């Protein structure tokens, strides 16, 4: 005798009056499973073998529903159900001894007869029947998605003040909570060798300046010497002209007297004297020519000295510039002995104490290890920390799938529970443009004017203070470090979208089912943003294809409660009345 029990994901109707019959049906439902996705398409024939019935009922209860093609597992499943539903006395007797083949068959027949498991009473719908679906088309929707992330408030600017060189703290002027103005001196440092070096350089510059003055005077002397040499040259030239005239005079006189002596008109002694005068004049002319050469050489020497002295002035001036630059360099180091506030703000940390020895790499090495604003390695403690308070900023990390929709000006809001505990309207001021390789997120920054009524702040590039911002007395404000929630609102108007319930996921791919020629066809799709009910769809491609096709709104999208009932190119039955209920996720 063979009895067939069919299960298709639905609970069989109980029509029998016998309690044992109700119990077997209850066990069948529990063993075969009440989830359609697990029992879909399973047809079980309760065909029992004597060997199989020899196993304990507990082992049969551990079996699970198998796919329809695994007939051996299905037979064992049905056998487990029927065996588990036997009368207690019969099952107890079966555990006390090993059945013979005949006894096993007899026990099965008796059990089936008692339970009256009839085929018609189960009345289960056939799994081969086409599933009921409804259809919809992609619709133009405005999808609004809000991305919210916990964050914290940061000052718009924060400066950690470290010394430029190793020094002692001579005096400090401000403490935590004090307001400072840009350029205000907040501490004096002391380095004796730097100050002495500065004085030495200053004296060297003063000496160079005096040398410039001396060189200028030397130029004046050299110029006078040039003038003197030039005058001497002119005198020598004049003397030469004089001697030349004398030579010419005596030469004429000697020639005249020589003629007269021949005529015995003049005494030869007179001629001799004139000849001596001529010789003396010629010698004087030669001497005058030598004097001219010497005067010319002296003039050139004086001119060379003059040019040299002028160069000496330039050298002295250059030395002044060099030494002044060196003096200024040391003066810059001296300038580092004063610590200034870089902008208007508030002192949020002080590690300065009179007489502390501070270092450029580690700041104050005597700072407590629990002091705020230490470096990540806890090895550097800044002397002061200054926070700019007129503007604050909040960061929101945008997930990768939403990064293309967040830009400068995207609507946003900030909720700071410690500040009024109400959303503050804002906009995205800027983004990091590149994603973080570790978190795969895009950093978006929201800037707010820090006042009783914060509002968005736009930095034009000059970093000017926010209007109405800054610390004011008796005023509630947002403080750096406060816990905050940042929200960025992504709005996608007039985009094609389908209900979220029509979308399935498998691995890292997204799919939807389309109705084509009375059958269900699965497509891989590319989606945009989603608001939880509607999801933007961009393009689709059939499975196995490499070509994408844009959604145009003509596609018939299948809606069904359990997409696992759909098969590739399997038949479906369209029930339009269920469209609204399924789209609503009922």
Here the contacts of 110-115 (C-beta below 8 Å, separation 24 or greater) are 111/82, 111/85, 111/86, 111/87, 112/1, 112/3, 112/46, 112/82, 114/18, 114/20, 114/87, 115/18, 115/20, 115/21, 115/24, 115/82, 115/85
Cβ contact 34:69 at 8 Å: no
Alpha helices in 151-267 (DSSP H): 192-262
Write down the pLDDT at residue 261: 79
Domain 194-335 has CATH 1.10.287.1700: yes
Q: Could you say which architecture CATH assigns to the domain 494-583?
A: Beta Barrel (2.40)
Rounded to an integer, what distance in angstroms lies between the CA atom of residue 560 and that of residue 176?
65
- The residue whose two tokens read 């293309």 is 404
The string over 49-71, giving b where at least 16 C-beta atoms fall within 10 Å of a residue's C-beta and e elsewhere, is eeebbeeeeeebeebebbeeeee
Rounded to an integer, what distance in angstroms lies between the CA atom of residue 289 and that of residue 236?
7
Bridge pairing between strands 573-574 and 132-136: parallel
Distances (CA, A) of 559 to 39, 252, 307: 21, 145, 103
- Residues 6 or more apart in contact with residue 141 via CB below 8 angstroms: 494, 495, 496, 497, 534, 536
| Angle (CA) 396 463 382, round 5° | 75
SS3 string, 50-116, reads HHHHCCCHHHHHCCCCCCCCCHHHHHHHHHHHHHHCCCHHHHHHHHHCCCCHHHHHHHHHHHHHHHC
Rounded to 10 deg, the angle between the 101-115 and 88-96 helix axes is: 170
Write down the pLDDT at residue 250: 86
Distances (CA, A) of 207 to 316, 317, 321, 328, 468: 10, 11, 12, 16, 54
First and final CA of the chain: distance in angstroms? 45
- Could you read off the pLDDT tens digit of each residue along the chain, which spans 586 residues? 333 333 333 444 444 444 444 454 445 444 444 444 333 333 333 333 333 333 333 333 333 333 434 444 444 444 544 444 454 444 444 444 434 444 444 454 444 444 444 333 333 344 458 899 999 999 999 999 899 999 989 889 888 898 988 999 999 999 999 999 999 999 999 999 999 999 999 999 999 999 999 999 999 998 898 888 888 888 888 888 888 888 888 888 888 888 887 877 778 888 788 888 888 888 888 888 888 888 888 888 888 988 999 899 999 999 999 999 999 999 999 999 999 999 988 998 998 899 999 888 766 665 555 555 555 455 668 899 999 888 999 999 999 988 989 999 999 999 998 888 889 999 999 999 999 999 999 999 999 998 888 888 877 666 666 555 555 544 658 888 899 999 999 998 999 999 999 999 999 899 999 999 999 999 999 999 898 899 999 999 998 899 999 999 999 999 998 998 999 889 999 986 444 555 555 4
**Beta carbons within 10 angstroms of residue 452's beta carbon:** 12
Domain ranges for the chain, please list them. Answer: 3-122, 194-335, 494-583
Write down the pLDDT at residue 41: 38
Rounded to an integer, what distance in angstroms lies between the CA atom of residue 523 and that of residue 526?
10
DSSP secondary structure string for all residues of 234-249 = HHHHHHHHHHHHHHHH
Bridge pairing between strands 43-46 and 570-571: unpaired
Q: pLDDT digits over 66-91, tens only?
A: 343 444 444 444 454 444 445 444 44
Rounded to an integer, what distance in angstroms lies between the CA atom of residue 27 and that of residue 84?
7
């Amino acid at each position: 005798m063979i009895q067939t029990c069919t299960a298709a994901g639905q609970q069989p109707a109980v029509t029998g009056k016998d309690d044992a019959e109700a119990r077997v049906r209850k066990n069948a439902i529990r063993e075969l499973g009440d989830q359609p996705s697990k029992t879909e398409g399973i047809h079980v024939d309760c065909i029992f073998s004597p060997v199989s019935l020899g196993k304990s009922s507990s082992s049969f209860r551990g079996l699970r529903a198998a796919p329809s093609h695994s007939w051996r597992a299905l037979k064992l499943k049905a056998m487990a159900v029927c065996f588990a539903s036997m009368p207690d006395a019969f099952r107890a007797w079966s555990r006390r001894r090993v059945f013979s083949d005949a006894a096993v068959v007899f026990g099965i027949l008796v059990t089936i007869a008692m339970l009256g498991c009839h085929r018609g009473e189960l009345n289960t719908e056939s799994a081969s029947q086409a599933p009921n679906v409804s259809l919809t088309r992609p619709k133009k929707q405005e999808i609004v998605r809000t991305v919210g992330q916990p964050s914290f408030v940061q000052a718009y600017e924060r400066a950690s003040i470290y010394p430029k060189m190793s020094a002692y703290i001579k005096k400090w002027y401000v403490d935590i909570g004090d307001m400072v103005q840009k350029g205000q001196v907040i501490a004096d440092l002391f380095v004796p060798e730097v100050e002495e070096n500065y004085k030495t350089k200053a004296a060297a510059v003063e000496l160079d300046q005096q040398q410039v003055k001396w060189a200028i005077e030397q130029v004046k002397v050299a110029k006078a010497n040039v003038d003197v040499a030039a005058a001497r040259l002119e005198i020598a030239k004049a003397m030469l002209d004089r001697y030349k005239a004398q030579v010419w005079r005596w030469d004429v006189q000697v020639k005249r007297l020589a003629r007269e002596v021949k005529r015995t008109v003049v005494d030869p002694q007179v001629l001799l004297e004139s000849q001596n005068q001529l010789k003396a004049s010629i010698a004087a002319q030669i001497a005058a020519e030598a004097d001219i050469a010497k005067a010319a050489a002296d003039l050139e020497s004086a001119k060379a000295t003059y040019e040299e002295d002028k160069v000496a002035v330039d050298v002295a001036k250059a030395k002044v510039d060099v030494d002044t630059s060196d003096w200024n360099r040391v003066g810059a180091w001296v300038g580092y002995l004063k610590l200034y506030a870089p902008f208007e703000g508030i002192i949020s940390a002080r590690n300065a104490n009179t007489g502390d020895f501070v270092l450029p790499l580690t700041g104050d090495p005597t700072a407590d290890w629990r002091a705020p604003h230490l470096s990540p390695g806890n090895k550097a403690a800044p002397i002061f920390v200054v926070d700019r308070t007129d503007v604050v900023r909040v960061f929101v990390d945008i997930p990768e799938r939403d990064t293309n929709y967040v830009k400068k000006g995207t609507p946003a809001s900030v909720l700071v529970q410690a500040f009024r505990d109400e959303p503050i309207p804002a906009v995205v001021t800027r983004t990091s443009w590149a994603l973080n390789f570790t978190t795969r997120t895009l950093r978006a920054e929201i800037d707010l004017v820090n006042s009783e009524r914060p509002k968005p702040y736009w930095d034009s590039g000059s970093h000017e203070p926010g209007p109405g911002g800054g610390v004011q007395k008796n005023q509630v404000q947002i403080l750096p470090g406060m816990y905050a929630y940042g929200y960025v609102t992504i709005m996608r108007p007039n985009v094609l979208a389908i209900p979220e319930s029509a979308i399935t996921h498998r691995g890292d791919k997204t799919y939807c089912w389309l109705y084509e020629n009375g059958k269900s066809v699965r497509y891989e799709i590319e989606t945009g943003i989603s608001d939880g009910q509607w999801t933007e769809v961009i393009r689709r491609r059939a499975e196995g294809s490499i070509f994408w096709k844009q959604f145009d709104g003509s596609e018939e999208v299948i809606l069904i409660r359990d997409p696992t009932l759909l098969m590739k190119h399997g038949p479906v039955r369209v029930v339009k009345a269920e469209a609204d209920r399924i789209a609503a996720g009922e």
